[in-house]
Structure 1
């Protein structure tokens, strides 16, 4: 018997969906998982195929983490994906109640802003934009983000990353000033974003510090966390267990593919 394929609805900002008042969209910013196109800075030490497989594990774990944080009716999971036309590569990877929305825009900041704008146009009361490089973010951080965004009044929620960027930004309005003239892919992204919010008199709620996995050094940090139970030195909370990533790293270690 051929296994059934699970695909996901594609959201259209021109056609608002029926959502619960104030519902939060938790949107993972993701590239379609093709070898040589994702996690390229992890190759070496990994092969392009291994990096793509690890990317799929990150995506599965992040989606399941989001699903576990989502109070029924209060938040939903979304994948904001690129390139358009590759939505089929996400089949069977996500929890059943996830949806997809294509990214638009040229630079990274444009794509972040457009995703926030499009999801708010779909009818959601707030949006979290979440990176796909942090599979062990503590579930408490996602729960805090949802709770803060569902309080009255405007604010942003931001999760600082160890490299100076952020792993999550949550908004109730699509503030363009938070994405314009930011030096993306530098160690000042978090600080510049907070400064832009302060300049615009927008309340800022800062989540616990965590880390992105995008090079050999942070891959070692992840491996230590998941296989050796060694929490990152800055951690104040236990990370998500990330079982797909854990199993894949264990298989790499057993084959000598990651030490």
Structure 2
């Protein structure tokens, strides 16, 4: 497949640091288009503001990591603040599996993709990805509490290992992990994180990361969020 984007040369990194491409998949935080399952109790405007805070916290965590390349796989027009050093790549048309597969087909070398919906993410959760990958580890996988996944990475990115996986289901994570294992890949499991879908998830994520923008934003909605 022809690459979506001609990526810049990797950055100069300390000796021994693998040249990892980090991809953040995100959607523009327009009321009524993001986090609609938080409405009610939140208004659509509040849900969008909380989604923006989640992206902000995620970008802050990723900023601590020594990525050689940074890609924002974006659905929207106005990229979020904090993503100025990211190459912005529009998401292709199609279901989520097709969008993820397309960007993996466009990359080469160690690549990790993370979502925008786990604001409790810490740089330490992804630290193993930025160490020298053992010869028996071909992929990294971060399960989410809702049965999906918040991160997927491969030493040799292959879209065919994602394409066709049914998304947004309680068994999505299991099916995706099985796809990697059935391909003979050695998989390192990253910590399980809370994917914010419902208001209870939002409160749990805020409890786990009480000092982030997400928690502060949710607290500002306390009168209507509980």
Please report the TM-score for the alignment, with normalisation by the length of structure 2. Answer: 0.87
Rounded to whole Å, the distance in 1 between the matches of 2:6 and 2:164 is 31
Rounded to whole Å, the distance in 2 between the matches of 1:178 and 1:209 is 21
SS in 1 for 2:107: helix
Q: Does 1:131 align with 2:120?
A: no
> Contact 2:180–2:187 at 8 Å: present in 1 too?
yes
Q: Tell me the number of residue pairs that the alignment of Structure 1 and Structure 2 aligns.
A: 219
**Which of these residues, 222, 231, 235, is aligned with residue 205 of structure 2?**
222
Q: Does 1:52 align with 2:48?
A: yes
**Which of these residues, 90, 109, 117, is aligned with residue 105 of structure 2?**
117
Rounded to whole Å, the distance in 1 between the matches of 2:4 and 2:130 is 21
Which residue of the partner structure matches residue 184 of structure 2?
201
**Change over 3 Å in CA distance of 1:154–1:222 after alignment to 2:** closer
Q: Does 1:155 align with 2:138?
A: yes
> Contact 1:76–1:97 at 8 Å: present in 2 too?
no
Which residue of the partner structure matches residue 27 of structure 2?
31
1:60-71 equivalence runs, <5 A: 60-68=56-64, 70-71=65-66
Shift of 1:95: 4.9
Shift of 1:143: 1.3
> Contact 1:154–1:173 at 8 Å: present in 2 too?
no
Rounded to whole Å, the distance in 2 between the matches of 1:19 and 1:145 is 16
**Change over 3 Å in CA distance of 1:199–1:252 after alignment to 2:** same
Which residue of the partner structure matches residue 79 of structure 2?
90
SS in 2 for 1:196: helix
Rounded to whole Å, the distance in 2 between the matches of 1:219 and 1:226 is 11
Shift of 1:96: 4.3
> Contact 2:207–2:215 at 8 Å: present in 1 too?
no
Q: Where do 5+ consecutive residues of structure 1 fail to align? A: 1-11, 228-240
Q: Does 1:19 align with 2:10?
A: yes
Q: Does 1:211 align with 2:194?
A: yes
Which residue of the partner structure matches residue 5 of structure 1?
none
1:173-188 equivalence runs, <5 A: 173-188=156-171
Rounded to whole Å, the distance in 1 between the matches of 2:31 and 2:177 is 35
**Change over 3 Å in CA distance of 1:154–1:206 after alignment to 2:** closer
Which residue of the partner structure matches residue 225 of structure 2?
258
Rounded to whole Å, the distance in 2 between the matches of 1:194 and 1:80 is 22
Q: Where do 5+ consecutive residues of structure 2 fail to align? A: 13-17
Which residue of the partner structure matches residue 78 of structure 1?
71
Shift of 1:207: 0.8
Please report the TM-score for the alignment, with normalisation by the length of structure 1. Answer: 0.77
* CA-to-aligned-CA distance 1:104-158 (integer Å, 9 cap, x gap): 13010000111122233xxxx222111110011232111122326x455761100
